[in-house]
Structure 1
Amino acid sequence: MTSTQKQQQQAANNAEGGAKKKKVTAAQLRAQKDIAELSLPPTMRTHFPDPDDILNFELKIEPDEGIYKGGLFKFTFSINNNFPHEPPKVRCTQKIYHPNIDLDGNVCLNILREDWKPVLNLNAVMVGLQFLFLEPNPSDPLNKEAAEDLRLTKESFKRNVRQSMQGGFVKSVQFDRVLK
């Protein structure tokens, strides 16, 4: 039973038992709809640490091609009550070497900032995150050193990505081991 189904069952049980029904917010309804309609490839999966809280969950991405192939990258999603009028807050929980993800886990993805529109859904954000691992974007960086590395010498960038994914150091910064 998915967490969405559990939540629906719990709501039905509460209604039948005459218990006080918890008010469902517009953000929860929209998030529930988006989650129910997710069509993720096998390289991505969601996890709900608290099945009763669909506004806070994790996403794991395991690229099966490109420079980041072989890694397991974890993100947290936090959706506030203004969703879908505001994008979800997304953070990478590991320290990784990537032009569009800084060392604190902040993510630079246009649809999480200026290009967000309420018609976009969680699936679009997740696909956008996956795309960052296939095609890192050095022209809109959060990690300027990694972006510069990618712009100047792609081979050096690839070596540094591999080194960092193994938990090694790149320019005196140690990265988290993310290899499966």
Structure 2
Amino acid sequence: MIKLFSLKNAKKDGESPKTGTQKKSSAAQLRIQKGFVILDINELNLPKTCGTEFPDPDDLLTFKLVICPDEGFYKGGRFIFSFKVGPNYPHEPPKVKCETQVYHPNIDLEGNVCLNILREDWKPVLTINSIVYGLQYLFLEPNPEDPLNKDAAEVLQNNRRVFEQNVAKAIRGGYVGQYYFQRCLK
């Protein structure tokens, strides 16, 4: 005979009726787990130029995104971003940093990323997928109007050819001005 009252109390206490213990998951853990289940059934829709890496397979809230643009100024480069999904996700965006030092108007030399949906335009309905596409777009169309690297933005606005040469130097590994960039060609 099933004891409905004991099942109801066990669920209310956050326990599994079979084992007596169950760890409660945060909204972030539940949503990210759901998101990566979706990834497994190919609904995350990562562009062909992007991939994910999980340094700790048990921690789905911390992962890396690798972007390898196949067109534009950054074609042939390999750029790694770290994602840390906090306990207030989806009400707060994940923390995203670029681990690859890059000459880019919207990414500073410390790896901070200027992308509106990571700041003031974040909404809980946005997903990791939204951020991936936003980051990919930054490599296709850098935005000198909202820069973190003001020098790169100024060069892009004033002389696209010099900007393109600077990007090529940086991804091959070399100096742009006084800053040295590690080679990041794939």
Higher relative contact order (CA 8 A, sep 6+): 1
Q: Does 1:44 align with 2:50?
A: yes
CA contact (8 A) 1:59 1:77 kept: yes
Q: 1:169 — aligned with what?
A: 175
Q: Does 1:113 align with 2:119?
A: yes
1:123 to 129, 134, 138: 129
Quick one: distance in 2 between partners of 1:71 and 1:157?
A: 16
Q: 2:110 — aligned with what?
A: 104
Quick one: distance in 2 between partners of 1:19 and 1:49?
A: 32
- C-alpha RMSD of matched pairs (Å): 1.5
Quick one: distance in 1 between partners of 2:20 and 2:162?
A: 62
Distance 1:73 1:17, change over 3 A: farther
CA contact (8 A) 1:47 1:58 kept: yes
Quick one: distance in 2 between partners of 1:52 and 1:108?
A: 29
Quick one: distance in 2 between partners of 1:103 and 1:17?
A: 52
For the residue of structure 2 that corresponds to 1:77, the secondary structure is strand
For the residue of structure 2 that corresponds to 1:67, the secondary structure is coil
Aligned residue-pair number: 166
Q: 2:145 — aligned with what?
A: 139
Q: 2:26 — aligned with what?
A: 25
What is the Cα deviation at residue 19 of structure 1?
Answer: 7.8
Distance 1:116 1:140, change over 3 A: same
What is the Cα deviation at residue 17 of structure 1?
Answer: 8.4
Q: Which amino acid aligns with 2:158?
A: L
Deviations along 1:139-177, whole A, 9 cap, x unmatched? 000000000010000000000000000110001100121
What is the Cα deviation at residue 22 of structure 1?
Answer: 2.6
Quick one: distance in 1 between partners of 2:115 and 2:57?
A: 27
CA contact (8 A) 1:34 1:123 kept: no
Quick one: distance in 1 between partners of 2:115 and 2:157?
A: 18
Distance 1:175 1:19, change over 3 A: farther
TM-score (structure 2 length as normaliser): 0.85
Q: Name structure 1 gaps, 5 residues minimum.
A: 1-14
For the residue of structure 2 that corresponds to 1:97, the secondary structure is coil
Deviations along 1:70-125, whole A, 9 cap, x unmatched? 00000000010000000000000011100000000000000000000001000000
Q: 1:72 — aligned with what?
A: 78
| Identity level (%) | 59
Q: Name structure 2 gaps, 5 residues minimum.
A: 1-15
Q: Does 1:152 align with 2:153?
A: no
> Once structures 1 and 2 are overlaid, which stretch shifts more, 120-129 or 33-42?
33-42
Quick one: distance in 1 between partners of 2:47 and 2:146?
A: 26
CA contact (8 A) 1:75 1:90 kept: yes
TM-score (structure 1 length as normaliser): 0.88
